[in-house]
Structure 1
Amino acid sequence: MHSPYLLKNIDLVGQRIKNALDKNELVTISGDPDMDGVTSLVILYKYLSNFTDRLHYVCNERSKGHMIGSLIQSIPDETKLFIALDSSSNDTESMKYLTEKGIDCLIIDHHTITNANSFAIIVNPQQDDCGYPNKNACGGLLTFKLCQVLDDLMETSYSYELSDLPGFSLMADMMLMMEMENRYYAKLSLKGLRHEGLKQLFKGMKKDLNNLTATDFLYGVSPAITAATRVDNIKLAIDFLMCDKETPELKEYIKELIKLNEYRKVVQAEALERHKDNISDDDKVAIIYDPSIGKGMNGLVGQELSKKFNRPAIVLGDGDDKNTYAGSFRGLEDFSMLDLLEKCRAIEHTGGHPGAGGLSIKKENLQELKDELNNRLSSFVPDDTLYYDLEFSVNEIDERFINYITEFYRYSGNGFKPGMFLIKDLFISDRKPLGKSNNTVKIDCGKLQLMKFKVDIEYYNKVPVFTDIEAIGSLNMNIWTEYKPKFKVTKTCQLFIEDYREVIKQ
């Protein structure tokens, strides 16, 4: 862990908040409409609630974007201190407006700074003269660091009660997991989870609370919470994360989040099916226009397109006026898609992270953008090669081995992906479609069960039975507990496969 006092302006921000608490001023907080922003808001709101009830929060719905301009009118007039979390480093106009109304502004953010903003005190490790070593911190981690400073000022230790939340922010926002501080906080989240709402959501998704991994969070709980923000129901996400203790409403929140997550999966699958034949092999970036997807879902569909076609993707819908498209982009690890788009003349606006963010463009300039991207990426060749770390015979795989692998890759994410393995000597004895939409295939191979997700009936029909194969995927233990008619624990060794190939034995 790095000292929070290495963050530029952290002492000024802490002192201003302490003054607000001492004077009983109304403090209004805003958070970005994603998992990191919502978690940041909940961390600070929960922390400050130990000292005052003069608190208010405002949040954009995701369809309104990430700037706070549309929130200004919802900030109470009696507010004396406004704190923007996980956003607004470059939102000069909004901060100027609030300052002129007599409201002091603080910003806790981690996004790239593109312009000066003299109307707020900013804590952001991306500032040129900020000495904080972890440039891959997220909004939730920085907000927690602020709470540690406030503990020093107030002579308390309330921040400890919130220490299991920053790691989830880091993982959800795809911050670098080769950063040791990030790995430490990820461990605090997964090994030291105290938040009751998150515990119940993990359990509702059949995850073992004693053996949680980053994958359990990134492919289960995180998308479920974010699904609420993607359908413009950010209040549900906030209300849920406020439930760090058991409440009467918690079960209903969890039920609704799981329902929205299933809806999210359907939207992604249907959009991919609609557009999979519309991507030209000649285009270096997969670009589609589909306003029916919705602003909140554009990025997820872009992620699916990028994975399927092994190239960056842009998903556009209608912009703020009739002459503009707006949407989301997803890139590859090889280069920064954000930097590339910033260089394109056809782009009106872009922002976010190197591999994921938003953009807007004049409709008349869409073809110019396609041409420009093709030119700038002329040497780029989409690569559908599957890479793996190690290879094993299926005879080497057992529960003990998988548990060892799981522990090594427990804190995976950006820069430290879950292990991929080539498993040999497999023999398919049976296959079975699973799920409400039959979009999962279970392939029985003796002691190892192969699982393939997000597939169609055509994929299922092509799986050969009574055939020798080898497959690439990630290893997992499926532990299933039955309570009726009698208590029984079933453990199955699984391989979540990327692909397989038939083996012709000599």
Structure 2
Amino acid sequence: MDKIWNIKTQGDANVIKHLSAALNVNMVIANLLAQRGITSYNEAKSFFRPRLSDLHDPFLMKDMDKAVARLEQAIENQEKVMIYGDYDVDGTTSVALMYQFLRSRIKDLDYYIPDRYSEGYGISPQSIDYASEQKISLVIVLDCGIKAVDKIKNAKDRGIDFIICDHHNPDDVIPDAVAVLDAKRPDCNYPFKELSGCGVGFKLLQAYTIKNDVPIVELYDLLDMVVVSIASDIVPVVGENRVLAYYGLRKLNSNPSLGLKTIIQIAGLVGQDISVSDIVFKIGPRLNASGRIEHGKKSVAIMVVTDEEEAMELGNEINSYNEIRKTLDRDITQEALDMIAHDPNQENRKATVLYNRDWHKGVVGIVASRLTEHHYRPTVILTESNGLATGSARSVKDFDLYEAIGSCSDLLESYGGHMYAAGLTMKIDNIPAFTRRFEEIVARQITEQQQTEMIEVDAKIQLSDITPKFYRILKQFSPFGPHNMTPVFVTENVLDAGTSRCVGRQLEHLKLDLVEPTLTSSVFQAIAFNQADHYEAISQGLPFDICYSIAENEFRGKTNIQLYVRDISAKLY
């Protein structure tokens, strides 16, 4: 599939010139900073050297004083307290963070993760029944709860107080809990709106430590869980998230908690400099697999474990769930692709809606993502659960999936999510009607540009610009993530040095050796995954353009700069 290379608008020329001189960096680096809204030496210093002292006062968040007062009361009176969170990585890390901090302060402390299949997302009626039966007087909810108006009322009527720590958009009515911490509340003036659910829990504990003169190092020791939540929940890595991720990665790389250390070992990351990408692709999926295949409580258990033998036992169990998840993911994705390939009506559609009652509910979100990447159109994958069709939806760049699904709300039992990802449930009989209307809405609203994958390119450069100093500074732009993505470059008219070749089990990848003969005699190593179809033209010695990011590759103890080619120009043909 052809891709669009969108070269970003360059930063203000005067700002770039000023930054280049003030920081002693070349114009390319200065432009990357300007594109990120950095205009002065001090802003650049804060960007390259985040400080924990840059974190906002947690008491700026609406209801924070109420939340801290209620938590203090529970600790003072040694009440029975339950920590509740969603079954995904953000939810389980949130629960683990809160439990780790409070277990030395509250004797009767419990945690609860709802079952993905029997209870579903959010605060479940079963959990309120459980809290009532156990005579729990305070529930701290993390990563959900902002829309649970009726359930919070029910709990309040039964004498159970709730503190809600959420980061999702609220409805018009805020639940009547003791405190509702959510920076996205319209009446909340907190300066940073994009915290993860675990990040909101961290702010509650930060406020508690300030109010009670607790050494802040005790809280900072839990930042490895916060960075796992930030990376896995794909929140913007700017502002407070950047600070928390920066120090969380330090903790994860130097002295992670026993449970995360075990997962790092099982994931084969020991001895490596763990990045946000490693969390997204290796740590997060293992923590997620527990809730997808068995129960999310296992993910909390490994993150709060104190015994090494138990940690390894839990780690191996979670890893086995991940292997099952990968098999299901692969098989169901192929089944879904085959359904599309064998249905002539799919060819000209602007959206994909597929249903199979036998697909595993725990992986339909992953499958939706895979199909969106493959066909690049809004995708809904549905299966059967508890007599209803339930599933996940994923979108393409700049198309508001949540709004499109909302336009079909009369056909749905429930839905939730945001612009790019959503979950939904409907009666099975409504699937044909939903499919027709969703297709009509997408066809009417989606633009031609939104139907083609776009690669955002930061700048055009020469290969000769890629020096050791350039890459050393580039690495300091990390941690990368939404709103601070790994820089992507374009270099035009490169040539094969004559030693490029196809690699991989099925020779599906390209190992490239590239030169710019008019500028430098240096050979630059590159890898282009799943692009072996370009080999014949490249090997003929014709010039071509590449779109790529830059990273390090370690081979036989030697580390080299390597280009990761995202796309190769079609002008070869």
TM-score, normalised with respect to structure 2: 0.77
Q: Measure how far apart 1:42 and its partner are.
A: 0.8
1:431 equivalenced with 2:502 (yes/no): yes
- Are positions 1:7 and 2:61 aligned together? yes
* Ranges in structure 2 where 5+ consecutive residues have no aligned partner: 1-54, 341-345, 514-522
Q: Determine the C-alpha separation between the residues in 2 that align with 1:204 and 1:385.
A: 35
1:153-232 correspondence to structure 2 within 5 Å: 153-157=211-215, 158-177=218-237, 179-193=238-252, 194-196=255-257, 197-202=259-264, 204-207=266-269, 211-232=273-294
Match among 80, 90, 93 for residue 150 of structure 2:
93
Identity %: 23
**Distance verdict in 2 for CA 1:125–1:161, change over 3 Å:** same
Whether the 8 Å contact between 2:357 and 2:384 is mirrored in structure 1 is yes
Contact 1:319 1:360 in 2 (8 A): no
Q: Tell me what 1:407 maps to.
A: 476
Residue matched to 2:71: 17
With a CA cutoff of 8 Å and minimum separation of 6, indicate the structure with the bigger relative contact order. Answer: 2
- 2:357 & 2:472 partners in 1: Cα distance? 44
Alignment of 1:17-416 (within 5 A): 17-63=71-117, 64-67=119-122, 68-75=124-131, 76-114=133-171, 115-157=173-215, 158-177=218-237, 179-193=238-252, 194-196=255-257, 197-202=259-264, 204-207=266-269, 211-243=273-305, 247-279=308-340, 280-321=346-387, 324-344=388-408, 345-377=410-442, 378-380=444-446, 381=448, 382-391=451-460, 401-408=470-477, 410-416=478-484
Q: Which amino acid aligns with 2:459?
A: L
CA deviations over 1:379-405 (Å, ceiling 9, x no partner): 423113544333456566566654443
Paired AA for residue 185 in structure 1: L
Q: Check whether the contact 1:398–1:493 (CA below 8 A) recurs between aligned residues.
A: no
**Structure 1 CA distance for aligned equivalents of residues 263 and 198 of structure 2:** 20
- For the 8 Å contact 1:32–1:60, the answer to whether it is kept is yes
Q: CA RMSD in A?
A: 2.9
8 A contact 2:496–2:512 mirrored in 1: no
> Retained in 1: the 8 A contact 2:84–2:95?
yes
Rounded Cα–Cα distance in structure 1 between residues aligned with 2:565 and 2:372: 18
Cα drift, residue 59 of structure 1: 0.9
Alpha-carbon distance in structure 1 between the residues aligned to 2:570 and 2:439: 36
8 Å CA contact 1:390, 1:422 repeated in 2: yes
| Secondary structure of the structure 1 residue equivalent to 2:195 | coil
Flag the 1:143–1:255 CA change in 2: closer, same or farther, 3 A. same
CA distance in 2, matches of 1:414, 1:443: 28
Aligned to 1:476: 551
Instruction: Tell me, yes or no, if the aligned pair for 1:58 and 1:74 is still in contact at 8 Å.
Output: no
Bigger Cα displacement from structure 2, 78-87 vs 390-399: 390-399
Residue 559 (structure 2) aligns with: 491
Q: How many residues align?
A: 485
Q: Secondary structure at the residue paired with 1:476?
A: strand
* Structure number with higher helix proportion: 2
Moved more, 161-170 or 440-449: 440-449
Task: Tell me if the contact between 2:500 and 2:510 (Cα under 8 Å) persists in the aligned partners.
Answer: no
Helix, strand or coil: the match of 2:457?
A: coil
